[in-house]
């Protein structure tokens, strides 16, 4: 094993963030705040400008971006795009020195992550999966929950990077286990959002005040993350602007359902929830926020919404 693949990565090492979207940009800003030298890669000019305004450096050319990097973070829509960025026709992984730590923080499919790790291994590139939970708000304040899969020594190498973005870092086991855990978390979260949305829909159709419904749930056993931080903020207000798209949630739920299928487990509710989200994605406008599931459920139920 080369020295590079055991050395702990600390500021001011160069960390490349690939994908400066709703999550990648605030996460990159946390790394800058912790003293890392942050290089960004994203085709969106506004995202690059926002990174530079905070002290990072945005690159159009991946080869220039990764020059001298100790670690590469991918924060991209899905695992196929991650693989393409690393190993596709224009991928930059083959340019990286052996030992460069690759951290996929996207919510990718665990089986694809395991395959990616096997492809990167002959290049001497260790991969860990470290997806996050907490949304844009917690990406901004650096309090994300991070679930980290992969060899323990590689998770430890990247710990200072992860701790700059998260309040808790949970080693979850071998490569892919973080991504499995993330999909399962989002299944529980999405099921909770559906339950809260349906309760709001039935309750307000019956004549209950929307705010009262949520206040009572939050003081009672029906409380969940959606009743606390989504229902009043994004659903009742009708802003539908949490910063997490419905399409990405649909992707996560299909990963959870596929994982159950891959393990030959017959878990009907996961498939049912994944189906509802896929139907909502087809029915709602492109770019809809995941909290707009309420609008879909209301229309589907024929209620007032």
Tell me the helices (H) and strands (E) count for the chain, helix number first. 14, 9
The CA distance from 197 to 256, in Å, is 21
Could you say which residues in the range 267-296 bind ligand NAD, by CB under 6 A? none
Residue 42 binds ligand NAD (CB under 6 A): yes
Could you say which residues in the range 199-238 bind ligand NAD, by CB under 6 A? none
How many CB atoms sit inside 10 A of residue 60's CB? 11
CB 136 within 8 A of CB 23: yes
Residue 171 binds ligand NAD (CB under 6 A): no
Question: Residue for token digits 């690759």?
Answer: 102
Q: Which of 123, 136, 267, 283 binds ligand NAD (CB under 6 A)?
A: 136
Residue 75 binds ligand NAD (CB under 6 A): yes
Residue 41 binds ligand NAD (CB under 6 A): yes
The CA distance from 164 to 175, in Å, is 21
Rg (CA), the chain: 20
Select 129 or 252, whichever has its Cβ closest to ligand NAD.
Answer: 252
Residue 23 binds ligand NAD (CB under 6 A): yes
The CA distance from 5 to 137, in Å, is 33
Alpha-carbon torsion angle 79, 85, 86, 88, nearest 10: 100
Residue 66 binds ligand NAD (CB under 6 A): no
Q: Which of 107, 113, 185, 226 binds ligand NAD (CB under 6 A)?
A: 107
Residue 85 binds ligand NAD (CB under 6 A): yes
Residue 244 binds ligand NAD (CB under 6 A): yes
Taking CB positions, which residue lies at the least distance from ligand NAD?
A: 21
Annotated active-site positions, please?
182
């Amino acid at each position: 094993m080369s020295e590079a693949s055991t050395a702990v990565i600390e500021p001011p090492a160069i960390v490349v963030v690939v994908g400066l979207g709703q999550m990648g940009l605030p996460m990159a800003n946390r790394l800058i705040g912790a003293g890392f030298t942050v290089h960004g890669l994203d085709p969106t000019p506004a995202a690059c400008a926002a990174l530079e305004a905070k002290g990072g450096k945005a690159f159009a050319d991946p080869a220039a971006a990764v020059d001298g990097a100790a670690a590469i973070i991918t924060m991209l829509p899905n695992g196929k795009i991650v693989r393409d960025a690393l190993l596709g026709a224009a991928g930059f992984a083959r340019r990286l020195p052996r030992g460069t730590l690759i951290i996929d923080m996207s919510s990718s499919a665990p089986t694809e992550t395991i395959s990616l790790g096997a492809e990167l291994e002959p290049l001497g590139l260790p991969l860990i999966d470290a997806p996050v939970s907490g949304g844009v708000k917690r990406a901004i304040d650096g309090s994300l929950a991070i679930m980290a899969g992969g060899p323990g020594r590689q998770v430890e190498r990247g710990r200072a990077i992860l701790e700059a973005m998260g309040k808790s870092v949970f080693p979850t086991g071998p490569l892919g286990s973080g991504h499995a855990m993330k999909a399962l978390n989002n299944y529980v979260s999405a099921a909770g959002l559906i339950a809260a949305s349906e309760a709001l829909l039935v309750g307000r159709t019956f004549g209950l005040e929307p705010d009262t419904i949520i206040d009572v749930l939050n003081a009672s056993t029906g409380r969940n993350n959606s009743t606390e931080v989504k229902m009043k903020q994004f659903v009742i207000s009708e802003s539908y602007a949490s910063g997490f798209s419905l399409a990405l949630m649909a992707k996560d739920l299909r990963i959870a359902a596929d994982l159950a299928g891959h393990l030959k487990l017959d878990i009907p509710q996961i498939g049912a929830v994944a189906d509802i989200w896929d139907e909502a994605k087809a029915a709602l406008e492109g770019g809809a926020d995941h909290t707009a599931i309420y609008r879909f459920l209301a229309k589907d139920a024929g209620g007032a919404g």
